[in-house]
Amino acid sequence: MRPLDPRQLDACVEGVAATHQLLLQIVDDLRPEQFSEPALLPDWNRSTLLGHLALNASSYVHLLTCASRGEAGEQYPGGPTARNAAIADAATWSPERTVKELRRSVYSLEGAWAGTTYDMWLGTGTAASGSVIAMHETPFLRWREIVIHLTDLDVGIGYEQWPDLYVRLELDRQKMAWAASHPMGLTQIPQAAMKLPEHHRLAWLLQRAEVDGLPQGPGL
């Protein structure tokens, strides 16, 4: 786990708040029939994706609540089966309920962050991936979720519009993840990818863009 960097934590919270507002503005402008249109994720429509984003926000509130009791919580109690069932249920919400649940969860999460103490930020929990994370990592992880899925919503926001700070922080993480997952001698990201602009390189790494001459990126 990474050590707590207060300035980076504050910057991520600020970045998430701005991206949350962009998300809510976009959702408010969708027509009811557009919620059932396909997203860019296989087998997901916009309602499914937006329901997932609402549930994801609530999952971080849950982790912080556990941390406030000195407990290491599980992001989605019940594991992948319960998480998938909740997303499937959210996919059936009406457009009106989807918007309501998304806005409620967004402000619940931002309110939870506002009330988090230093000791709580140092608490830990188990992410959906099964990895143990510190609570001070959750703003960045939430930012990742919103930034990438705004592109997946297929509403005209491409990787070129991803926030610069998010891209810089994510590239640092992806560089280390690449090195950790490759054998000696192959720990460097391919030169063809390194020559790309940072936003394009990250989009390739996260499987949101293709690059001629390179295989599909590793994804998250």
Cβ within 8 Å of residue 53, ≥6 positions away: 23, 102, 105, 145, 146, 149
pLDDT tens-digit readout, 31-49: 999 999 999 999 999 999 9
What proportion of the chain, given as a percentage, has pLDDT over 90?
Answer: 87
pLDDT tens-digit readout, 5-22: 999 999 999 999 999 999
Structure tokens at 92: 């059936």
Task: Kindly state the average pLDDT of the residues 120-146.
Answer: 97
Pure H helices in the chain: 6-29, 46-68, 79-90, 95-114, 118-121, 138-152, 164-180, 191-194, 198-205
Amino acid residing at 74: E
Amino acid residing at 183: P
Contact call for residues 153 and 46 (beta carbons, < 8 A):
yes
Question: Residue 158 above 70 pLDDT?
Answer: yes
Structure tokens at 47: 């309602």
Q: What is the rounded distance in angstroms from the CA atom of residue 210 to the CA atom of residue 216?
A: 7
CATH superfamily membership of 6-157? dinb family like domain (1.20.120.450)
111 falls in which pLDDT band (50, 70, 90)? very high
Question: Residue 55 above 90 pLDDT?
Answer: yes
Domain boundaries, the chain: 6-157, 159-220
Q: Which runs of E-coded beta strand occur in the chain?
A: 73-74, 124-126, 132-134
